[in-house]
């Protein structure tokens, strides 16, 4: 009798204390559940220019930091060069969930971002770092309706625009009728100086330059190296023009589905990433200028003090034009401008 009842009693006692071997079927059912909780949160991140350019360098840095700070629980797959979404459908694509995260240039879509484009006005912002910090804090303070359909993760701006050209632009006289690629506020800025702006996203510029559709480009000078413009645009002219403004946005439903600690990591990363990108970009422009001169024999011209004063005077009207269009879009333009000026004074 003992031979039959003792093992049975032992088994019953062990299972009552929960320390016996689990039935094989139950153990099998639990294993997939464990694997599920260990599965990382996967996010896609779309960007429009080539991988070597600053908007994509900041994307890779954002990915690395987010993955590291979440201990690998978040994994980001990056898509540069418009391989998932191109510049003009970036915002719509993120709203519709074709990408979880997207990097967009607000300057490419005049009128769509009536508040944030105030940072592009010629108000004397001198660097990408200042512009990026102003942009980020402006957004955080005002939370303008133009981004209501997405979650904004970070914002940044390129350094003030200068000219790169196939023929020397040594003075304002050389700019007259000069066909030059420039979009948004930068386009209107250079037009007021007598040039003929042609708008197009950055990825289309190499082709346009090679086909002689434009004779130069008005943007931050690091593309002399990154986009190899020094090869066919060896002349640079400092104009200290407008910055172009960018936003990194996330699909709202995807963001809402994230755990609270990941949301907090993103909130902390936003302003830090803006400052990091600005600082990196400013330094990268200086490096690219030196590289273009040393490696490609490029030349850098600066305007005389009188011409610089003339540039400021001739482009002043941009601020009134922005006020009119922002007000027409329902924005309190005076309040936005006052805030931009206050933030500029804080960060410059
Ligand atoms: N100036 C804007 C922004 C910009 C500057 N460098 C790059 C490189 C790649 C994409 C955009 C930009 C522009 O020219 O588009």
The reported pLDDT for the residue numbered 9 is 40
Structure tokens, 6: 């003792």
Q: Which helix (H) or strand (E) holds 188?
A: helix 184-192
Is 256:191 a contact under the CB 8 Å cutoff? no
CA atoms of 196 and 203, how far apart (whole Å)? 20
The reported pLDDT for the residue numbered 199 is 95
Is 139:147 a contact under the CB 8 Å cutoff? yes
Is 169:301 a contact under the CB 8 Å cutoff? yes
Ligand 1: centre distance to CA 119 (Å): 16
Is 209:233 a contact under the CB 8 Å cutoff? yes
CA atoms of 104 and 250, how far apart (whole Å)? 11
Structure tokens, 101: 């995260």
Atom of ligand 1 nearest to the CA of 108: 15
Ligand 1: centre distance to CA 69 (Å): 29
SS3 for 212?
A: coil
Q: Is the CB of 55 under 6 A from ligand 1?
A: yes
SS3 for 251?
A: strand
**For ligand 1, atom 3, which residue shows the shortest CA distance?**
244
| E strands in 29-167 | 41-46, 74-79, 101-105, 150-157, 162-165
348 residues of the chain, pLDDT tens digit each: 444 444 434 343 433 333 333 333 444 444 444 444 679 999 999 999 999 999 999 999 999 999 999 999 999 999 999 999 999 999 999 999 999 999 999 999 989 999 999 999 999 999 999 999 999 999 999 999 999 999 999 999 999 999 999 999 999 999 999 999 999 999 999 999 999 999 999 999 999 999 999 999 999 999 999 999 999 899 999 999 999 999 999 999 999 999 999 999 999 999 999 999 999 999 999 999 999 999 999 999 999 999 999 999 999 999 999 999 999 999 999 999 999 999 999 999
**For ligand 1, atom 2, which residue shows the shortest CA distance?**
244
Ligand 1: centre distance to CA 219 (Å): 7
The reported pLDDT for the residue numbered 38 is 73
Ligand 1: centre distance to CA 330 (Å): 29
CA atoms of 28 and 113, how far apart (whole Å)? 54
Is 100:43 a contact under the CB 8 Å cutoff? yes
CA atoms of 63 and 309, how far apart (whole Å)? 43
Q: Is the CB of 219 under 6 A from ligand 1?
A: yes
Give the contacts of 341 (CB within 8 A, at least 6 positions apart).
123
Of 224, 226, 200, nearest to 214 by C-alpha is 200
| Start-to-end C-alpha separation, the chain | 91
pLDDT (tens digit per residue) in 183-207: 999 999 999 999 999 999 999 999 9
Ligand 1: centre distance to CA 202 (Å): 6
Ligand 1: centre distance to CA 104 (Å): 11
Q: Using CB atoms within 10 A of its CB, is residue 278 exposed (0-12), middle (13-18) or buried (19+)?
A: buried
Q: Is the CB of 49 under 6 A from ligand 1?
A: yes
What count of other Cβ atoms lies within 10 Å of the Cβ of residue 216?
25
What count of other Cβ atoms lies within 10 Å of the Cβ of residue 268?
12
**For ligand 1, atom 4, which residue shows the shortest CA distance?**
158
Q: List residues bridging with 302 in a β-sheet.
A: 238
The reported pLDDT for the residue numbered 37 is 60
Atom of ligand 1 nearest to the CA of 222: 6
**For ligand 1, atom 15, which residue shows the shortest CA distance?**
202
Placement of tokens 């960007």 in the chain: 47
pLDDT (tens digit per residue) in 93-136: 999 999 999 999 999 998 999 999 999 999 999 999 999 999 99
Q: Cα–Cα–Cα angle for 291, 297, 303, nearest 5°?
A: 90
Structure tokens, 217: 């480009």
């Amino acid at each position: 009798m003992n031979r039959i009842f003792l093992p049975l009693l032992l088994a019953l006692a062990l299972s009552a204390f929960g320390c016996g071997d689990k039935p094989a079927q139950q153990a099998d059912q639990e294993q997939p559940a464990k694997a599920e909780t260990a599965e990382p949160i996967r996010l896609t991140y779309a960007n429009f220019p080539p991988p070597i350019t600053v908007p994509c360098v900041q994307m890779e840095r954002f990915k690395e930091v987010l993955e590291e700070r979440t201990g690998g629980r978040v994994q980001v797959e990056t898509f540069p060069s418009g391989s998932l979404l191109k510049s003009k459908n970036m915002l719509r694509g993120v709203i519709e969930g074709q990408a979880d995260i997207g990097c967009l240039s607000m300057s490419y879509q005049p009128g769509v971002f009536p508040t944030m484009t105030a940072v592009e006005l010629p108000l004397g912002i001198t660097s990408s770092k200042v512009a990026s910090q102003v942009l980020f804090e402006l957004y955080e303070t005002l939370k303008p309706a133009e981004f209501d359909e997405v979650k904004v993760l970070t914002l940044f701006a390129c350094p003030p625009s200068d000219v790169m050209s196939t023929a020397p632009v040594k003075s304002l006289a050389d700019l007259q009728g000069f066909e030059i690629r420039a979009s948004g506020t930068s386009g209107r800025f250079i037009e007021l100086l007598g040039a003929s702006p042609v708008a197009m996203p950055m990825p289309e510029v190499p082709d346009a330059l090679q086909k002689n559709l434009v004779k130069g480009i008005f943007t931050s000078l690091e593309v002399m190296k990154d986009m190899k413009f020094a090869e066919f645009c060896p002349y640079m002219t400092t104009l200290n023009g407008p910055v172009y403004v960018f936003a990194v946005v996330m699909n709202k439903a995807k963001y809402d589905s994230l755990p609270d600690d990941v949301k907090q990591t993103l909130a902390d990363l936003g302003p830090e990433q803006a400052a990091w990108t600005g600082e990196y970009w400013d330094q990268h422009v200086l490096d690219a200028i030196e590289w273009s001169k040393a490696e490609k024999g490029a030349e850098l011209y600066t305007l005389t003090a009188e011409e610089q004063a003339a540039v400021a005077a001739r482009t002043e009207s941009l601020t009134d034009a922005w006020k009119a269009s922002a007000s027409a879009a329902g924005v309190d333009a005076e309040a936005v401008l006052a805030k931009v000026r206050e933030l500029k004074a804080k960060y410059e």
